[in-house]
Structure 1
């Protein structure tokens, strides 16, 4: 991957991606050869976020999908996503996943190539506890790539040592408000200098930061940075972030290194939005992004 000066941001373009091709499993590969991904999330109030994220992981090329969510909504997700194995977990009174499910989740996660946690999770304290425990349970440089999104991001400040020991195999996908919570500054300060905020958190936690916005910045723990500003305002819609996180997790599951998965995921998500925007810049749905992803990948890989 291109080595750059720390103060430079490399534009994410089609030519850049063609120079960092995604791993291809080959025609003889089976489902396991294409990678196994576990998506943890959802709640009684927002079960559909997990559907979006899990389907996105498959659209990005992962071979096997497992989804873990609240017990009361698991059967419905199993019917909605027949391609997935769906785990029903004990839920809190607030309709979230109970933090004491972490041992079972760590066991599952250790047998996967990538894990995503966060989409659709609502019980703030339970999410924070579960995320911190999951990071600790996946400690060290081995094990799956870990993607952390949405409410789960708020569990990271208590997991710094474990994150650092993961050796840069964690990807976080905050927007400006979530980045403010992680970095201890105001949203206005984040928006005034997104690269600085992203670089600070990437170095502090030894994670790859995907700071979402009109221009999305991808920053590694060693200060390398890429920027993508080719999307459109239609992507600012409910569920869009869930699809992005799922695409990144799917790419990581099939063997892309974490920075590569983040860069490709941001571009695929943005370009999917651009194709839908040809019918009009507003009004397309996050679920419609998913069907665009395989064709864009194929074009870039040709």
Structure 2
């Protein structure tokens, strides 16, 4: 693989992609609707983190395995929570898609993957969901990304958010190669999978299938904490629900996620804040960035 240049992603970049305006009379539908499909009996917190982040930006529905759905409903009283049937190993059963069919029409964004278990059965579920929600921007994280191992059938409205180890697993490249040539790895994966790829790391590389790419270098070590990626996936989904195209939603999510970490680092130190604290920083950051990106 050969590294080629990418464009820096900064606040100045976002001026080209301002958030769709919410008028003074806008109701909750004006923020757009995001569906977060996540969690398992062993990792229910991943669904909570992704959903909370998405709710800070857009309107929210959660779909979760039936054994954790009631707990999520109590934890996030602002959201509708749909309980789905589980596989014997705690994954999402493909029959659960039927319960989500009524909200497919008009849904702007779908986040799948945080906290999922039972890879083979859940991948069947993800494949069915991609077909059902083909009109939505779809963010795939964690185990849901394994769907690309079956073939490049995604589209420009699908976003994958792997870490280096996950990229190695999905692409078949050695992790060392991914770490040494992250831009090339992200670019080749985006072209092969026909999807947008945000390869997370000390520098996050965002690549499109057409070869265009951006690099964000403003993250800090504190973001390397458990659940941080779940929060990022929820943020990207929230921005897509607000009406931003996939690339722009990804850029906003990556930058806001990092700036939230920086705000916490200033108060608590570079390392040691928790992923659950990131979402609380989002509204003020979005307000500030929104004002800065307006003409």
Q: Which residue of 2 aligns with 1:148?
A: 140
Which of 250, 260, 263 matches 1:272?
260
Q: What does 1:210-249 correspond to in 2, within 5 Å?
A: 210-249=198-237
Cα deviation digits, residues 77-104 of structure 1 (max 9, x gap): 1010001100011112222221221233
Counterpart contact for 2:6–2:214, Cα < 8 Å: yes
Alignment gaps of 5+ in structure 1: 1-5
Q: Once the 2 structures are TM-superposed, how far is the Cα of residue 200 of structure 1 from its aligned partner?
A: 0.8
Q: Once the 2 structures are TM-superposed, how far is the Cα of residue 37 of structure 1 from its aligned partner?
A: 0.6
> Are 2:172 and 1:180 aligned?
no
Counterpart contact for 1:182–1:201, Cα < 8 Å: no
> Are 2:25 and 1:20 aligned?
no
Q: Once the 2 structures are TM-superposed, how far is the Cα of residue 107 of structure 1 from its aligned partner?
A: 4.0
Alignment RMSD: 1.5
Counterpart contact for 2:104–2:132, Cα < 8 Å: no
Q: Which residue of 1 aligns with 2:178?
A: 190
Q: What does 1:56-71 correspond to in 2, within 5 Å?
A: 56-59=53-56, 61-62=57-58, 64-71=59-66
Q: Once the 2 structures are TM-superposed, how far is the Cα of residue 176 of structure 1 from its aligned partner?
A: 0.8
> Are 2:279 and 1:290 aligned?
yes
For 2:286 and 2:133, how far apart are their aligned partners in 1? 30
What TM-score, normalized by structure 2, do the two folds share?
0.94
For 1:17 and 1:99, how far apart are their aligned partners in 2? 38
Q: The residue matched to 1:226 in structure 2 has which SS?
A: strand
Q: Which residue of 1 aligns with 2:45?
A: 48
> Are 2:33 and 1:36 aligned?
yes
For 1:289 and 1:58, how far apart are their aligned partners in 2? 13
Q: Once the 2 structures are TM-superposed, how far is the Cα of residue 177 of structure 1 from its aligned partner?
A: 1.2
For 1:229 and 1:109, how far apart are their aligned partners in 2? 36
For 1:124 and 1:108, how far apart are their aligned partners in 2? 25
Counterpart contact for 1:44–1:96, Cα < 8 Å: no
Q: How many residues align?
A: 288
Counterpart contact for 1:131–1:156, Cα < 8 Å: no
Q: Once the 2 structures are TM-superposed, how far is the Cα of residue 274 of structure 1 from its aligned partner?
A: 0.7
Q: The residue matched to 1:69 in structure 2 has which SS?
A: strand
Q: Once the 2 structures are TM-superposed, how far is the Cα of residue 233 of structure 1 from its aligned partner?
A: 0.6
> Are 2:89 and 1:94 aligned?
yes
Q: The residue matched to 1:39 in structure 2 has which SS?
A: strand
Alignment gaps of 5+ in structure 2: none
Q: Once the 2 structures are TM-superposed, how far is the Cα of residue 106 of structure 1 from its aligned partner?
A: 4.2
Q: Once the 2 structures are TM-superposed, how far is the Cα of residue 19 of structure 1 from its aligned partner?
A: 3.1
For 1:195 and 1:104, how far apart are their aligned partners in 2? 39
Cα deviation digits, residues 137-180 of structure 1 (max 9, x gap): 334xxx1110000011111222523x1xx3x1111101111111
For 1:170 and 1:138, how far apart are their aligned partners in 2? 11
> Are 2:78 and 1:83 aligned?
yes
Q: Which residue of 2 aligns with 1:3?
A: none
For 1:106 and 1:211, how far apart are their aligned partners in 2? 31
Which of 93, 100, 105 matches 2:100?
105
Counterpart contact for 2:84–2:99, Cα < 8 Å: no
Q: The residue matched to 1:43 in structure 2 has which SS?
A: coil
Q: Once the 2 structures are TM-superposed, how far is the Cα of residue 20 of structure 1 from its aligned partner?
A: 2.1
For 1:250 and 1:36, how far apart are their aligned partners in 2? 8
Distance 1:261 1:146, change over 3 A: same
